[in-house]
């Protein structure tokens, strides 16, 4: 018998159905009565706020639920009291049946959207939906959208602001995109820079505007289509409106391609300048050593066919003195004028180069006979002997030239350069301002020079240096008033080496500084032992002034020897005073203030100028021996001697005539008032022991006979 269904059963079933319906809702659900008490809820509601099942009961007040929620970490941005008051107000203000929404934060930083609607007799029906993931997804989408917009802006800015022209074509040769530099480089009209423009139309326009791609229009188009068809990288350099443009073709997988276009006009010009600078001298614009060697190497093939050439190595005479006295700025201007003069002596087929410093070279090609090279060398020597007028200075230098003939003196670049340099060295050793052809055996002379330099470095340590002294006779005193210290070198193996051979090498290598110090000390030490108060004269090299220790060296030599400063005479040459070098003049004044006498040696031999005598109050002028030697052959020599003697007297300076070897020469200079004479007529240079004998005898009988 079937049981009868009661109202209680029906109500119980309805309750189960309601519970099932509530639990199946995909969001939180609850109902609050008019008295703000919990009427019903579902599991999602508890889960959203983290309520334990047994802690939520029917009839709980809103206040109790809020406290529990706060204890579980919900609503972190408000206190429980603040949240309760606000929530009650929201519910209380919504009794008209409208659906109101609000968002709140719960534990874990999740965002919950609550929507409540009021139902009379029931209360407020509230839904709670977790929007955390939805909001995150929306924010991600928004960020992606904004990032994409920024990337598009950046791409557009990058494409249009790069210096290269850029364009993209699809597989059918239609323009997809191009940037502003691309349109600007080719000055394309608007219809050829719109998407869809055909590559053939663009190329046709460019050739009509005069583009030159290194071949015909048809050749270029065939090449371009072939590169596109093969899907390979390619590049081309073409000319348009005087500009050089580099095009690079980059294939894409879909059959389209991207090409870049760069105006490389300035780059090519800069590369040309760099190539020029690498092979040309920056100061004179002449080819440099690298270019000259390449040009010389290029003649080797012609030599094999019977052609002839000549290499001339050129070195300026006295140029070092210009740099040291007038400064490098004047020296540079001299080098520029030198290069212009050299260029003016040569033919178009010749090569003039500056190898460095004051060294130049000429490749003379072709030549018929050695006289062609000799003629050029004569022109060079002549043109370089003419004074240079620069910034108010009259500068006299000169040039020495060495010549090597090809193939007679060598068939390779290295051999020709070496032999021309050897010939140059011979020209300089023969008196400068001349030229000399290469001769077999010249290498031996170079080896000898190197041997002298090497031996000179050890000469002091081996006690191979010694001094001799040549007397200077005072014509009024009728006795020896001074003796000039002269350096001699007795080599252990080669014997006596002439000063003319080793002193120039000592100056070039700066060995003259330690050697000069030794000479000063030795001369002072010797003079202290002389039986008379005759002075001792020591020659100074301009190189010694560069050491900036000359004053201290002289002072030390006097102190160590005990020689009174008034008995020391220092001789300098005119080249030291080519310009009024302030440190040099200061040193001279300090030495003179010490009591040392200062003489100008070899006056009239080179750069003589009255301004030199005005720049410093010399005690003595020594007239160069060349005037004595030319006294009989050149009529103006006596006039010059007379003028120098008179000039010395007027300036309060004594005069000494060097190189007096005959009685006629003696009478000539004595008749014009010369104070001292020096030369073989009286005495050759003497070793120290003979100096003592000479001074003891004072040459009195001999002098009376001579006078």
Is residue 149 a part of any domain in this protein?
A: no
* 579 plus 655 within the same structural domain: yes
Residue 285 clears pLDDT 80, i.e. is over it: yes
Residue 703 clears pLDDT 50, i.e. is over it: no
Q: How many independent structural domains does the chain possess?
A: 4
Rounded Cα–Cα distance for residues 91 and 136 (Å): 28
Residue 471 token pair? 């007397």
- Residue 354 contacts residue 360 (beta carbons within 8 Å): yes
What's the mean pLDDT in 613-640? 80
Is residue 146 a part of any domain in this protein?
A: no
Domain around 112:
7-130
For the residues of 296-343, what is the DSSP string, one character each? Answer: HHHTHHHHHTT--EEEEEEEESSHHHHHHHH-HHHHHHHHHHHHHHHH
* 90 plus 187 within the same structural domain: no
Q: What is the pLDDT of residues 76-120, one digit of tens each?
A: 888 989 898 988 888 888 887 777 788 888 887 888 899 888 888
* 497 plus 572 within the same structural domain: yes
> What pLDDT shows up at residue 612?
64
Is residue 692 a part of any domain in this protein?
A: yes
Looking at 21-25, 262-266, 523-527, which range is the least confident one? 21-25
Is residue 100 a part of any domain in this protein?
A: yes
Is residue 137 a part of any domain in this protein?
A: no
* 378 plus 464 within the same structural domain: no
How is the beta sheet containing 257-263 ordered, strand by strand? 175-178, 165-169, 257-263, 243-251, 234-240
Q: What is the pLDDT of residues 2-34, one digit of tens each?
A: 555 555 554 555 555 556 666 777 889 899 998
What's the mean pLDDT in 256-274? 87
Which of 206, 234, 269 is a domain's end point? 269
Contacts of 602 (CB under 8 A, 6+ apart): 573, 574, 622, 624, 625, 658
- Place 355 in a pLDDT band, splitting at 50, 70 and 90: very high
Specify the CATH number for the domain of residue 369. Answer: 3.30.70.270
- Place 634 in a pLDDT band, splitting at 50, 70 and 90: low
Which of 413, 440, 467 is a domain's end point? 440
Is residue 147 a part of any domain in this protein?
A: no
Closest CA to 50 of 69, 29, 65, 63: 69
Specify the CATH number for the domain of residue 47. Answer: 3.30.450.20
Residue 560 clears pLDDT 90, i.e. is over it: yes
Rounded Cα–Cα distance for residues 534 and 476 (Å): 14
Closest CA to 203 of 249, 160, 148, 162: 249
* 403 plus 428 within the same structural domain: yes
* 464 plus 608 within the same structural domain: yes
What's the mean pLDDT in 419-423? 91
Which has more pLDDT, 104 or 160?
Answer: 104
Kindly state the percentage of the chain with pLDDT values over 90: 38
- Place 540 in a pLDDT band, splitting at 50, 70 and 90: very high
Highest mean pLDDT, choosing among 502-516, 552-566, 572-586, 657-671: 552-566
Mean pLDDT of the chain: 86
Rounded Cα–Cα distance for residues 548 and 398 (Å): 29
* 264 plus 205 within the same structural domain: yes
Residue 699 clears pLDDT 60, i.e. is over it: no
> What pLDDT shows up at residue 508?
81
> What pLDDT shows up at residue 13?
53
* 522 plus 563 within the same structural domain: yes
What's the mean pLDDT in 148-152? 69
> What pLDDT shows up at residue 658?
92
| 143 half-sphere exposure, CB direction, 13 A CA radius | 6
Residue 489 clears pLDDT 50, i.e. is over it: yes
Residue 432 clears pLDDT 90, i.e. is over it: no
Q: What is the pLDDT of residues 375-403, one digit of tens each?
A: 999 999 999 999 999 998 889 999 999 99
> What pLDDT shows up at residue 163?
73
> What pLDDT shows up at residue 559?
95
Q: What is the pLDDT of residues 191-241, one digit of tens each?
A: 998 999 999 999 999 998 889 887 788 888 888 888 888 888 888 888 888
Q: What is the pLDDT of residues 580-610, one digit of tens each?
A: 578 888 899 999 999 999 998 877 665 445 6
What's the mean pLDDT in 285-309? 89
Where are the alpha helices (H) located in 30-79, listed in sequence order?
Answer: 43-49, 62-71
* 94 plus 185 within the same structural domain: no
* 314 plus 229 within the same structural domain: no
Is residue 577 a part of any domain in this protein?
A: yes
Residue 339 clears pLDDT 80, i.e. is over it: yes
> What pLDDT shows up at residue 610?
63
Backbone angles phi, psi at 361, to 5 degrees: -150, 150
What pTM was computed for the model? Answer: 0.48
Rounded Cα–Cα distance for residues 402 and 315 (Å): 9
Is residue 302 a part of any domain in this protein?
A: yes
- Place 704 in a pLDDT band, splitting at 50, 70 and 90: very low
Backbone angles phi, psi at 351, to 5 degrees: -120, 120
Residue 10 token pair? 């029906």
* 617 plus 474 within the same structural domain: yes
Beta bridge partners of 124: 32, 118
- Residue 303 contacts residue 406 (beta carbons within 8 Å): yes
Residue 274 token pair? 């760099």
* 428 plus 543 within the same structural domain: no
Which of 246, 269, 292 is a domain's end point? 269
Residue 289 clears pLDDT 90, i.e. is over it: yes
End-to-end CA distance of the chain: 185
Closest CA to 244 of 221, 216, 270: 270
Looking at 450-464, 506-520, 529-543, 679-693, which range is the least confident one? 450-464
Residue 267 clears pLDDT 90, i.e. is over it: no
């Amino acid at each position: 018998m079937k049981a009868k269904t009661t109202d209680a059963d029906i109500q119980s079933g309805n309750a189960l159905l309601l519970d099932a319906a509530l639990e199946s809702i995909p969001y939180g659900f609850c109902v609050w009565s008019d008295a703000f008490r919990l009427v019903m809820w579902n599991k999602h509601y508890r889960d959203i706020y983290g309520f334990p099942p047994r802690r939520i009961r029917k009839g709980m007040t809103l206040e109790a639920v809020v406290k529990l929620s706060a204890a579980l970490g919900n609503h972190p941005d408000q206190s429980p009291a603040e949240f309760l008051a606000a929530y009650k107000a929201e519910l209380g203000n919504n009794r008209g049946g409208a659906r109101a929404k609000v968002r709140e934060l719960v534990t874990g930083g999740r965002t919950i959207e609550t929507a409540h609607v009021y139902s009379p007799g029931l209360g407020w029906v509230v839904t709670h939906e977790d929007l955390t993931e939805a909001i995150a997804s929306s924010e991600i989408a928004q960020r992606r959208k904004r990032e994409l917009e920024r990337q598009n802006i950046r791409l557009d800015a990058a494409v249009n602001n790069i210096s290269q022209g850029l364009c993209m074509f699809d597989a059918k040769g239609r323009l997809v995109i191009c940037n502003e530099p691309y349109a600007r480089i080719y000055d394309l009209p608007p219809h050829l820079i719109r998407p869809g423009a055909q590559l053939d139309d663009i190329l046709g326009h460019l050739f009509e505007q005069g583009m030159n791609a290194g071949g015909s229009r048809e050749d270029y188009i065939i090449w371009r289509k072939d590169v596109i068809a093969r899907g390979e990288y390619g590049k081309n350099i073409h000319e348009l409106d005087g500009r050089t443009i580099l095009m690079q073709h980059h294939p894409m997988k879909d059959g389209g391609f991207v090409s870049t276009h760069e105006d490389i006009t300035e780059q090519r010009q800069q590369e040309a300048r760099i190539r020029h600078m690498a092979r040309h001298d920056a100061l004179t614009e002449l080819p440099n050593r690298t270019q000259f060697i390449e040009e010389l190497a290029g003649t080797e093939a012609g030599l094999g066919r019977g052609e002839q050439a000549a290499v001339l190595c050129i070195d300026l005479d006295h140029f070092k003195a210009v740099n040291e006295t007038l400064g490098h700025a004047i020296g540079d201007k001299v080098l520029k004028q030198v290069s212009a003069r050299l260029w003016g002596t040569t033919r178009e087929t010749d090569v003039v180069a500056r190898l460095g410093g004051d060294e130049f070279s000429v490749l003379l090609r072709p030549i018929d006979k050695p006289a062609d090279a000799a003629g050029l060398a004569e022109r060079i020597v002549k043109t370089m002997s003419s004074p240079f007028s620069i910034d108010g200075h009259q500068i006299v230098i000169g040039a020495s030239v060495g010549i090597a003939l090809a193939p007679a003196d060598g068939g390779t670049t290295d051999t020709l350069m070496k032999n021309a340099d050897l010939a140059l060295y011979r020209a300089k050793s023969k008196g400068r301002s001349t030229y000399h052809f290469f001769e077999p055996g010249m290498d031996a002379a170079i080896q000898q020079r190197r041997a002298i330099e090497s031996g000179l470095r050890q000469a002091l340590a081996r006690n191979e240096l010694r001094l001799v002294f040549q007397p200077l006779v005072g014509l009024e005193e009728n006795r020896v008033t001074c003796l000039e210290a002269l350096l001699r070198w007795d080599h252990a193996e080669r014997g006596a080496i002439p000063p003319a051979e080793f002193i120039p090498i000592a100056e070039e290598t700066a060995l003259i500084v330690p050697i000069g110090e030794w000479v000063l000390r030795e001369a002072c030490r010797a003079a202290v032992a002389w039986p008379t108060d005759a002075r001792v004269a020591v020659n100074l090299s301009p190189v010694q002034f560069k050491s900036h220790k000359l004053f201290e060296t002289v002072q030390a030599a006097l102190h160590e020897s005990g020689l009174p400063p008034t008995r020391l005479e220092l001789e300098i040459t005119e080249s030291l005073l080519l310009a009024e070098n302030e440190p040099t003049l200061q040193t001279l004044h300090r030495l003179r203030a010490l009591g040392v006498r200062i003489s100008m040696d070899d006056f009239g031999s080179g750069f003589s100028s009255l301004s030199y005598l005005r720049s410093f109050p010399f005690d003595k002028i020594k007239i160069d021996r060349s005037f004595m030697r030319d006294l009989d052959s050149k009529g103006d020599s006596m006039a010059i001697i007379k003028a120098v003697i008179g000039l010395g007297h007027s300036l309060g300076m004594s005069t000494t005539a060097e190189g007096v070897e005959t009685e006629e020469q003696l009478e000539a200079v004595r008749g014009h008032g010369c104070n001292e004479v020096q030369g073989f007529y009286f005495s050759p240079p003497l070793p120290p022991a003979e100096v003592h004998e000479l001074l003891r005898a004072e040459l009195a009988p001999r002098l009376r006979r001579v006078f």
